Structure 1
Amino acid sequence: MINRFINVLTTKCKVKEKEPVLVAISGGADSVALLHLFHEAGFQCVAAHCNFSLRGEESDEDERFVTSLCKQLGINCFTQQFDTTGYAKEHKVSIEMAARELRYNWFNNLAETLNINLIATGHHGDDAIESFFLNLTRGTGLKGLTGISWRKEKLIRPLLFAASSDIEKYCNNNNLNYRTDCTNSETKYLRNNIRHRVVPLFREMNPAFFETMQNNMSFLNEAWEIFSREAENVQQQLVAKTDDATLIPIRLINNHPQKRSMLFEMLKPYGFQGNNMEQIVDCLDGIPGKQFFSEQYRLIIDRYNLILLPRYEADHNCYVIEGGQSTIKQPVNLNIRVFERDSLFEYSKNPMTAHFDADLIDFPLTIRRPKPGDRFQPLGMQQHKKLSNFFVDEKLSLIQKEKIWLLTNGTDILWIMGMRIDNRYKVTPKSKRILEIEIVE
């Protein structure tokens, strides 16, 4: 066991001979074996134990056990107690997620304080197999079927070569006591359900199931490396970023032979799940405007692009401009003035400034978002036109349409702000007073 451990530590985890490591220890068989192996192999290490205060006296007993073990081995031990339940409520996450966040945040801070670049956890081969089935159930794509990596940045898992039975045997052979978490036997958690119900069925069918799965995940990891390089190339070629959006050309993604898998890899960082892909792909050739949502992002299928944007609450309030106001700040920063027309007056050629016949205006004016059925009479036309048709003619994207504000005079649309005024309110040679409204950026 120790020879394999040293080999993995140096070849897979890339740990240098005298490089210090922070070893996470819960008190269970896995972490006790991990700490003992580091000690026996002669590598420099310190121990870190989290007391999540979830099991009352049992949690405190774990902490005392770990402290005593580290004292016997002559290894410095750091402990930290957490209010895990309070954290979960405050951050609106599950207990499992709260414990994970608290654990790794503290490990990283402690490692930085101690000037240690590596953190070792006791994840073993059976954990990797459970993760395989867990990800298979959740639909995480090819990457999720590669198991657990030996090293990810500063995090290392040197026990992935060993089964849980190997670790227990090591502890017994070396007279190592360890703690047993009673929640490990509860099948209400999906991982425990897989551990106690699913995996044993496969072991019955294949006595060499552990070795088979190790090989399977190794092959899948190699396949993932090939696929990820292709996905990265495709992403570099297809994905464009603007200040507020990410764009993926529909035509190009449609032409890719593995478009569903490629699209999944592009959208996964934004929180979209594998079960969304079929629906999204089915909509690529459909009517523009369909939207899909993850927790923090939305995906819009526009005419030519898939548009990724952060989710936000659109402002659908109405804002009033009273007569005599010279400026407003919400929802648009405006300068407003009324003046007598003279021979020096020139019509604005800047779309951010609009001029109106002031004697046709009845204050207060209103600024609002477009509504279904809105119509106006575009400058230069004698007929009314639906706003929706005007937007189509102007080739506005859904994002551009969502940003539009209208200036209204009663029920009439005076100005599609930044674009076009209504012909009925234009300045004519007969106009005596002019209302000027300027959008200040």
Structure 2
Amino acid sequence: MLKEFKNFISQNSLFNPEDKILLAISGGVDSMVMAYLFHQCTYRFAVAHCNFKLRGEASDADEELVRSMAKKYEVKFFARQFETEQIAKDRGVSIQMAARDLRYEWFDELLDDFQFSYLATAHHLNDALETTLFNLAKGTGIAGLKGIPPKSQNRIRPMLFAEKKTIESFAGEKKITWREDQSNASVKYHRNLLRHKVIPLLEKINPDVIRGFSISSRKVAAAENVLKANIGALNERLLKKSGQDFLIGKEDLLKQLEGAFVLSEILKPFGFNYSQACDIYDKLSGVGKKFLSERYQLNIDREELIISPILLSPAPDTILIESTHDTITGQGFQLKIQQVSAADFVIPTDRNTAALDMGKLNFPLQLRPWQDGDWFVPLGMRHKKKLSDFMIDEKIPLNLKKRVFVVKSAEDIVWIIGHRIDDRYKITARSRQVFIIKKEAHD
């Protein structure tokens, strides 16, 4: 086993011999064997143990065993006790979730404070299979099917080459002392249910299911790498950045094989899940549909999907104007909206009507009161002008300035309602479609 251990570390480039490793040791057979192997290989390491105080004297006995092992190996020992039940209650999470968070929060502190290169945990092949089955039951992507990776950021799993039964046999052979957590026998926890009920059934189909999974896991990991490379190339081709927004051309997306899946992978960094991506893909022919993730808003426009940070979402006194709207009600007025062809279009001279080049607009537009610092390029001019200066020139009375509203496209003001449009959005000979907004009085 020692040779396999060293080979696994080398083949997966887990760490260099000169690196200093922090071992997470619970006192169970897996982690105690891992510590033994580190000691036999004369790697540089220290030991960290969490006492979650969930099993009374048994928890304290676990801590004492790990402490004595560290003393025997003459390595630095770290221990911390947690009032786990109370902390779980305070945080509003399960005891298992609280214990996991507390464990890794403390481990990260130790890594930083004592300059350890990596944290080593004793996950083995059985753990990896349980993780895959658990992820599969929840509905996972390819990443979840590969189980537990040998290395991720500053965490390494040097025992992933071994099955549980091999570890236990080795512990008996080398007379390694370890302690069993009695809660591992309970099937009330999902992982234990998989361990004690589901995997034994799979072993009836294939007695060597763990090793079979190991091969499948490597294949899935390789397939994921190929997928990432292809998605990366598609990202460069399909996803375009425009200021704070991201654009995906609908026509290009529809040409892709398994377009809904491709879209789900592109949208994943924006927080949209697979179900949302499928829903968006199914509604590509529509215009004006809006979808939200935690941090982003996606709008289906005529030719593109527009992804915008929610941080740029309008303030509470702002109203969104979609391209599909026909009426918007403001404060003391209504906006009537219409779209017409630019062919033979006669530009209105009425100040209460804005005729804008629709091809230049970024929906949804925003209707809001003017603010200090606002500026635009008044129709007929080539340079920007502050709204405060514009209103002075227009001789708008001070008491009426608070009634001045603007329409914005992305970060540009396109119309000072009832006064003037922005020169950059006027109708020209190249315009194809006109977006007309007409202000009408409304009680």
Range into which the TM-score falls when normalised by the shorter chain: 0.7 to 0.9
Contact 2:267 2:277 in 1 (8 A): no
Contact 1:27 1:178 in 2 (8 A): yes
Mapped partners of 1:248, 1:425: distance in 2? 32
RMSD: 3.5
Q: Post-superposition shift, 1:159?
A: 0.8
Aligned to 2:306: 307
**2:363 is aligned with 1:398:** yes
Aligned to 1:374: 334
Gaps of 5+ in 1: 319-367, 427-441
Q: Post-superposition shift, 1:147?
A: 1.8
**Secondary structure at 1:241 match in 2:** strand
Q: Post-superposition shift, 1:78?
A: 0.8
Seen in structure 2, the aligned counterparts of structure 1 residues 369 and 86 have a Cα distance that, compared at 3 Å, is farther
Aligned to 2:186: 186
Question: 1:257-301 CA distances to partner (integer Å, 9 max, x unpaired)?
Answer: 13233222222233333333322221222233231x334444333
Alignment of 1:29-428 (within 5 A): 29-85=29-85, 87-88=87-88, 93-242=93-242, 244-291=244-291, 293-311=292-310, 314-317=314-317, 370=330, 374-375=334-335, 380-381=348-349, 393=358, 396-399=361-364, 401=365, 403-406=366-369, 415-417=405-407, 418-423=413-418
Seen in structure 2, the aligned counterparts of structure 1 residues 227 and 251 have a Cα distance that, compared at 3 Å, is same
TM-score with structure 1 setting the length:
0.73
Question: 1:190-221 CA distances to partner (integer Å, 9 max, x unpaired)?
Answer: 32322222222111111111111111111111
Seen in structure 2, the aligned counterparts of structure 1 residues 376 and 382 have a Cα distance that, compared at 3 Å, is farther
Aligned residue type for 1:375: L
Contact 2:264 2:278 in 1 (8 A): no
Seen in structure 2, the aligned counterparts of structure 1 residues 285 and 187 have a Cα distance that, compared at 3 Å, is farther
Mapped partners of 1:95, 1:8: distance in 2? 33
**Secondary structure at 2:298 match in 1:** strand
Mapped partners of 2:161, 2:176: distance in 1? 20
Aligned residue type for 2:368: W
Aligned residue type for 1:172: G
Mapped partners of 1:316, 1:198: distance in 2? 52
Q: Post-superposition shift, 1:256?
A: 1.3
Contact 2:298 2:305 in 1 (8 A): yes
Gaps of 5+ in 2: 319-327, 339-346, 371-398, 408-412, 422-443
Mapped partners of 2:23, 2:37: distance in 1? 11
Mapped partners of 1:91, 1:254: distance in 2? 45
Mapped partners of 2:306, 2:84: distance in 1? 38
Seen in structure 2, the aligned counterparts of structure 1 residues 18 and 414 have a Cα distance that, compared at 3 Å, is closer
Q: Post-superposition shift, 1:239?
A: 2.1
Q: Post-superposition shift, 1:384?
A: 7.4
Mapped partners of 2:221, 2:93: distance in 1? 30
Seen in structure 2, the aligned counterparts of structure 1 residues 269 and 376 have a Cα distance that, compared at 3 Å, is closer
Instruction: Select between 244-253 and 227-236 the one with higher mean Cα deviation.
Output: 244-253
Instruction: Select between 293-302 and 253-262 the one with higher mean Cα deviation.
Output: 293-302
Mapped partners of 1:248, 1:236: distance in 2? 11
Mapped partners of 1:221, 1:48: distance in 2? 30
Mapped partners of 2:357, 2:182: distance in 1? 63
